[in-house]
Amino acid sequence: MSIKVTLPTAFIRHTDGRKHFNSAASNLPGLIADIDQTFPALSTQIKDEEGKLRRFINIYVNDEDIRFLGGETYAFQDGDEIMLIPSIAGGIA
Amino acid sequence: MNYSCSRYELKCNECGKRFGNQPLSACPDCLAPLEITYDREAARHLFTKENIAAGPANIWRYAALLPIPDGFQPDLPVGFTPLVRAKNLGKRIGAANLYVKNDAVCFPTLSFKDRVVSVALANAQKFGFDIVGCSSTGNLANSVAAQAARLGLKATILVPADLEPAKILNTLVYGARLVRIDGNYDHVNRLCTQIADEYAWGLVNVNLRPYYAEGSKTVGYEIAEQLGWRLPDNVVVPMAGGSLIRKIRKAFNELIYLGLVEEKPVRFFGAQASGCSPISVAVKEGTDTIEPQRPNTIARSLAIGNPADGPAAAKMIRSSGGWAEDVSDVEIVSGIQELAETEGIFTETAGGVTTAVTARLYADGRISANETTVTCITGNGLKTTDALIGRYQQERAVRPRLADFDAYLRELDGITELELTTAGAL
Could you say which of B34, B189, B197 has the minimum Cβ distance to residue A91?
A: B34
Question: CB contact, 8 Å: A62 with chain B?
Answer: no
Q: State whether A88 and B249 contact (CB < 8 Å).
A: no
Stronger pLDDT, B360 or A86, i.e. the higher one: B360
d(CA B237, CA B101): 10
Stronger pLDDT, A60 or B164, i.e. the higher one: A60
B118 burial class (0-12, 13-18, 19+ CB within 10 angstroms)?
buried
- Whether the pLDDT of residue B328 is over 60: the answer is yes
pLDDT at B137: 87
> What average pLDDT does this structure show over A46-57?
84
Tens of pLDDT, residue by residue over A7-21, are 988 888 899 999 999
Tens of pLDDT, residue by residue over B195-208, are 998 999 999 999 99
pLDDT at B253: 97
Q: Is B83 in contact with B99 (CB distance < 8 Å)?
A: yes
| B151-159 CB contacts, 8 Å cutoff, 24+ apart | B151/B75, B151/B121, B151/B125, B153/B121, B153/B124, B153/B125, B153/B129, B154/B130, B155/B131, B156/B131, B156/B132, B156/B201, B157/B133, B158/B133, B158/B134, B158/B188, B158/B191, B158/B192, B158/B195, B159/B135, B159/B188
Question: CB contact, 8 Å: A50 with chain B?
Answer: no
Q: State whether A93 and B250 contact (CB < 8 Å).
A: yes
**Mutating which of B31, B205, B249, B309 best tests the A interface, going by the most A Cβ atoms within 10 A?**
B31
Q: State whether B26 and A56 contact (CB < 8 Å).
A: yes
Q: State whether A85 and B291 contact (CB < 8 Å).
A: no
Tens of pLDDT, residue by residue over B293-311, are 999 999 999 999 988 889 9
Q: State whether B306 and A88 contact (CB < 8 Å).
A: no
pLDDT at B309: 87
pLDDT at B373: 98
Alpha-carbon distances, residue B201 vs B1, B131, B141, B207 (angstroms)? 11, 5, 15, 9
**Mutating which of A9, A68, A88 best tests the B interface, going by the most B Cβ atoms within 10 A?**
A88
Q: State whether B312 and A60 contact (CB < 8 Å).
A: no
Could you say which of B12, B193, B210 has the minimum Cβ distance to residue A85?
A: B193
Residue B121 amino acid letter: L
Shortest CA gap A2–chain B (Å): 23
Tens of pLDDT, residue by residue over B196-253, are 989 999 999 999 999 999 999 999 999 999 999 999 999 999 999 999 999 999 999 9
Of the pLDDT bands very low, low, confident and very high (cuts 50, 70, 90), residue B186 is: confident
Q: State whether A93 and B306 contact (CB < 8 Å).
A: no
Q: Is B300 in contact with B111 (CB distance < 8 Å)?
A: no
Average predicted confidence (pLDDT) for chain B: 94
Question: CB contact, 8 Å: A87 with chain B?
Answer: yes
Question: CB contact, 8 Å: A46 with chain B?
Answer: yes
